[in-house]
Amino acid sequence: MTREISSNHVGAMLSLVALASEAATTMREYEAHHRAKIHEEGRADKAAINAQIAQSLEDAISEIGQSLEFDPRAFERLLKLTSETAKTFRMYEGHHRSKDGSDRPERADRNANIAGRIEQAAGALAAWQILENRQPT
C-alpha cells in the first residue's frame, strides 16, 4: 500500500538525512582527534564512542538510501538516532563550556549549533508526522 506524503514532510526528512550525515562526519572528526592522542588516558574510549555513533548514523542513512520504496520505519529509526546524537552534542557542548573542558567556547558553539539544527529538523519532522497521521473529524 502506497501512502502519499506532502512535499513539506519530504523536505523535513531530507533535511534530517543531511544533518545526520553532517553529524556522522563530525563524529568521525572527533574520533580522529581522540585517536591522534590515543596515548592520553581516556582517549581510546572517547574515540570508540565517537566511532560507534558515526557508524550507527552511517548505517541508518545507508538503510534509507538502499530502500526502493519509502520506509517510514527507517526514518523513525533515523529520527530516534539523530535525537540521541543531538543529546550527545549537547553533552559535548556542556563539557567544552566547563572548567574540565578547558572552557573552549568555539568547540562548545560548534556542538550547540549541530545539536540545535538536529533538534529543529527532528521537531519539524515530528510535527509533519503528527499532522499527516491525523484523521479527519
pLDDT, position 72: 79
Q: What is the mean pLDDT of each run of 10 residues along the chain (137 residues)?
A: 63 87 95 94 94 96 82 85 94 84 82 94 78 58
Residue 31 lies in a domain: yes
Residue 135 lies in a domain: no
Q: Of 134, 135, 130, 136, which Cα lies nearest the Cα of 12?
A: 130
pLDDT, position 23: 96
Full domain range(s) for residue 42: 7-130
Residue 1 lies in a domain: no
Q: Of 6, 9, 19, which Cα lies nearest the Cα of 81?
A: 19
pLDDT, position 137: 45
For the chain, the DSSP string reads ------HHHHHHHHHHHHHHHHHHHHHHHHHHHHHHTTTSTTHHHHHHHHHHHHHHHHHHHHHHHH-SS--HHHHHHHHHHHHHHHHHHHHHHHHHHSGGGT--HHHHHHHHHHHHHHHHHHHHHHHHHHHHHPPP-
pLDDT, position 100: 65
pTM attached to this predicted model: 0.81
Count: domains in the chain = 1
pLDDT, position 1: 42
pLDDT, position 127: 76
Residue 32 lies in a domain: yes
